Amino acid sequence: MRIVGIETEYGIADPRNPQANPILMSSRLVEACRAQAGGHTARWDYGGEDPLQDQRGHRRDRSQAHADLLTDAPEWDGTAGGVTLRRRRGSWEDPAHLNAVLANGARFYVDHAHPEYSGPEVRSARDAVLWDRAGDAIALKAAERYTRDEGLALALYKNNVDGKGASYGTHENYLVRRDIDFDDVSRYLTAHLVTRQVLIGAGRVGLGQRGEQPGFQISQRADYMEAEVGLETTLRRPIINTRDEPHADRSQWRRLHVIIGDANCFEVPTLIKVGATSMVLSAIEAGDDRLETLVIKNPVAAVQTVSRDLSLLVPLELESGEHASAMQIQRALLGICRAYAEDASDHTVLAHWERVLDALERDPLSAAKDVEWAAKLSLLGRLRERHATTDRDGNTELLDWGDARLAAVDVQWSTLGDGWAARLEKAGQVARLTDDAEVDEATRRAPRDTRAAVRAKLIRARPELVDAAGWASVVIDHEADHGELEVVHLDDPHMSTHPYIDALAAQRG
């Protein structure tokens, strides 16, 4: 399977102080994470950040860019004796306590007002699940240390909405060949991103960005998608994000940055989310003309239509003039993707994809062990029945979807450690693909078959040498003199060893 990665922004709150500053809490949580790691962390290298370059071949003028897009910190690079050098960043740099590159190859940092875990690069859907779960464990351990050291309360939520109109992201990243026309990627991937929510949606109480209307829908992100294609990630959010920041050899690769997905507490949706999307991209790279028949006429409106269709039967208009439901489109994509399964990981994804589609077609609630929105709907349904009222004529009315108790359960569902999703998992009501022992190991160890292993090796063995690290770089300070720094480029995400880094790691500090 292609190189992939998952980023998760966690909701954060102090249950005893609703007015607590989330940026300060997030910063202290990252500090706690660094302390928990015992010094085996590094700062972040912004040298590879390029947030204003667009996949469509142009660059957004910096003066015209919204501040939320400016995730980079421009630095001076030079060359001396064939070695790339970088000056140590000054006081204007994002403070060190806002970033931690970890010994499992991941990054834990403050993104706007949220703590974010960006998992290491992986080469299988199951590994994506494993290191995503490792992120939850790392965040939870940091939160436990934070509450112990600070004497304060802290809750983390693996969701995408705060119930007050704000949405924060769970992003996927896919390595895609540069020679594929980006317009083809945009045109043919959209139908999958619009309809896959029937399989991977996390469920949400409330309709509209602020939950203005009572009701339940399949996806947490659906009401926040407002454009087909665009560079933004925090406003006018697009189905297809065009940021062209490959973190790899630009002449060969793109990094497709997908922002439409929900955060999943269940493992099967994560597996299908990453694995199915990767295979659809393989079909696009192969120029499979069957994808043309699935192009949706009005995809932005269709995102909300699919999310609010609990019957899974509402037809969507296609550009061809035909109509198909989200389930029918997913079934067609499953058939197409069978031709692009490359390894055992892909075949495992296909098996889960088909099994879950079959269950949803029989009865959505029968898929509750695998489909997060179905499990949440089932739980909320029982709560609505428990608090139902009966009038004088004996007519029973379920608890209204606008009731605050349902909204509270929706938020509590995703609480790390002891939320409703975690309780159902502990009770054996949720399908698992990993076990606790391997998740614990993945909090300390990087994947062995990607470049995450390279940077993690040095951070684990010689943290005093690492001034900073990024996805495609490790910045070395040999003399600890805070002058010119050596930058080792890791432009091939598939590499799992690097002779120079390996030699440095093997030396005694």
Q: Are 134 and 127 in contact (CB under 8 A)?
A: no
Q: Which of 276, 194, 190 is nearest to 229 (CA)?
A: 190
Q: Which of 419, 188, 178, 430 is nearest to 293 (CA)?
A: 188
**Token pair for 456:** 């993690």
Q: Which of 115, 207, 211 is nearest to 163 (CA)?
A: 211
**Token pair for 453:** 């292993």
Q: How far is Cα 384 from Cα 43, in angstroms, rounded to an integer?
A: 48
Q: Is 111 a catalytic site residue?
A: yes
* H-helix segments, 363-432: 372-386, 404-413, 420-426
Q: Is residue 397 packed enough to be buried (19+ CB in 10 Å), middle (13-18) or exposed (0-12)?
A: exposed
Q: List the beta bridge partners of residue 476.
A: 466, 486
Which residue type, as a one-letter code, is found at position 82?
Answer: G
| DSSP β-ladder status, 225-230 and 316-317 | unpaired
Residues 6+ apart with CB under 8 A from 137: 439, 440, 443
Q: Which of 45, 111, 132, 477 is catalytic?
A: 111
Q: How far is Cα 269 from Cα 198, in angstroms, rounded to an integer?
A: 10
Q: Are 488 and 445 in contact (CB under 8 A)?
A: no
For every residue of 146-205, DSSP letters joined together read HHHHH----EEE-SSB-SSS-B--EEEEEEEETTS-HHHHHHHHHHHHHHTHHHH---EE
The residues annotated as belonging to the active site are 111
